């Protein structure tokens, strides 16, 4: 790549190299800030979830909506943790973990399917989300098979 830049930019490739390094540093800093904010949000949401579970268990009547809210927040936390894991993996290994992203997408679709009960959407939306979940499951299976072949 450096030879290509040197051929295109001539002696100015050192300036391009410095710009590349500065841009890369800015991206890494932004990723670190996003990871920190996500860690804070996960911690706060975990505390809220624990309080909701405690209040639901100690109430006289357990309502369907409170159980669905707890499931919704729990799945959202799992999704946030998967996104955080993807971000931290990308920061440390400098590779984009596609399998983790697909798994996070599957959790997001599952969360939507569960929360449909709250919003009372029609059957067409449920079918579309189910097809999306099956497609993501197929992609995940292909990625796992590819990873096994490589190592």
pLDDT at 56 over 80: yes
CA–CA dist 108, 86 (Å, integer):
15
pTM of the entire predicted model = 0.60
Amino acid 47: pLDDT:
92
C-alpha R_g of the chain: 22
Query: pLDDT of 130-149, one tens digit each?
Result: 898 899 889 888 888 888 88
Indicate whether 33 belongs to any domain: no
Report how many domains make up the chain. 1
- Amino acid 51: pLDDT: 92
Mean pLDDT, residues 28-55 taken together: 88
The pLDDT value recorded for residue 5 is: 44
Q: Is 100 domain-assigned?
A: yes
Residue 18 lies in a domain: no
Backbone conformation region of residue 97, classed left if phi is above 0, alpha if psi is from -120 to 50, else beta: beta
Is 28 within a domain?
Answer: no
Closest CA to 127 of 116, 119, 138, 137: 116
What pLDDT is stored for residue 50 in this prediction? 92
Q: Identify which of 65, 69, 64 has the alpha carbon closest to the alpha carbon of residue 52.
A: 69
Closest CA to 75 of 105, 32, 36, 34: 105
Burial 54-75 (b: 16+ CB within 10 A, else e): eeeeeeeeeeeeeeebebbbbb
Domain range holding 81? Answer: 41-150
* Residue 52 domain-assigned (yes or no): yes
Within a domain: 15: no
């Amino acid at each position: 790549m450096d030879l290509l830049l040197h051929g295109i930019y001539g002696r100015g490739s050192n300036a391009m190299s410095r710009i590349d390094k500065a841009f890369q540093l800015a991206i890494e800093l932004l990723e670190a800030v996003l990871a920190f904010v996500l860690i804070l949000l996960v911690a706060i949401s975990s505390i809220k979830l624990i309080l909701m579970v405690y209040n639901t268990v100690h109430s006289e009547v357990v309502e369907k909506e409170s159980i669905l809210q707890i499931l919704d927040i729990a799945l959202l936390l799992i999704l946030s943790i998967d996104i955080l894991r993807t971000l931290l993996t990308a920061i440390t290994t400098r590779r984009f973990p596609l399998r983790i992203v697909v798994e996070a997408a599957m959790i997001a679709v599952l969360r939507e399917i569960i929360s449909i009960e709250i919003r009372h959407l029609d059957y067409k939306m449920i079918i579309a989300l189910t097809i999306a979940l099956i497609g993501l499951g197929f992609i995940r299976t292909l990625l796992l098979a590819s990873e096994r072949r490589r190592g």
